[in-house]
A and B are shown apart, each in its own frame.
Chain A
């Protein structure tokens, strides 16, 4: 099956600093990637849709200046949490869309645990 990686798997940072998370599709090209956030015991919440070569589309309530998304190639999207605060601590998960003959399927990365002190 298709493989999506994320780096780092976990990160601890001080309040006010910025953190970059990478999402890579390892064995397929993905024109579209998605970023989700998940709090304990809750479902995944879509943050933004990242399209290669164009600006990301953010969901309502997600600050685009705080969560910077770059999708510079067909296999890499990055999420930068700027000026992180403790309330940004969460589990961040990316997915990449694999285009099939008749439909497409999203494959998910293993997630990145962000803890802001």
Chain B
């Protein structure tokens, strides 16, 4: 299982773009990278998933370099409601026995 490393916490201001980088040096060939958002007393919410290069949806963008040893979640124009913990997870290959282990995540605090 690939281990992930993220900054423990980040602060930003409303309207800014926020980039959270995750390191996963031991990522396997079949592994995908998935980001989740979690608010207090709620289950994690799926944000975005990718394998390589760039993926964009209505919420965020995910940038993955060619070596796939890191990834960056980009949140455009954040608001106060984006204050949450963000988890970077690696796995999701079509292996029945595959499981995802959560790291400590990044606590993002958006300031007015």
- Name A's B-contacting residues (CB within 8 A): 1, 4, 6, 31-32, 34, 36, 43-46, 49, 51, 91, 93, 95, 99, 102-111, 113
B41 — which chain A residues lie within 8 A by C-beta?
91, 111, 113
Give min CB distance, A38 to chain B, whole Å: 9
**17 A-B pairs with C-beta separation under 8 A:** A4-B43, A31-B96, A34-B99, A36-B102, A43-B104, A46-B100, A91-B41, A102-B94, A103-B49, A105-B34, A105-B46, A107-B46, A108-B44, A108-B45, A109-B43, A110-B43, A111-B42
Interface size on B, residues (CB 8 A): 25
Q: Is the interface of B mostly helix, strand, loop or mixed?
A: loop
Check B92 against A44 for contact (C-beta < 8 Å): no
B99 — which chain A residues lie within 8 A by C-beta?
34, 46, 49
- Name B's A-contacting residues (CB within 8 A): 32, 34, 36, 41-46, 49, 51, 87, 92-94, 96-105
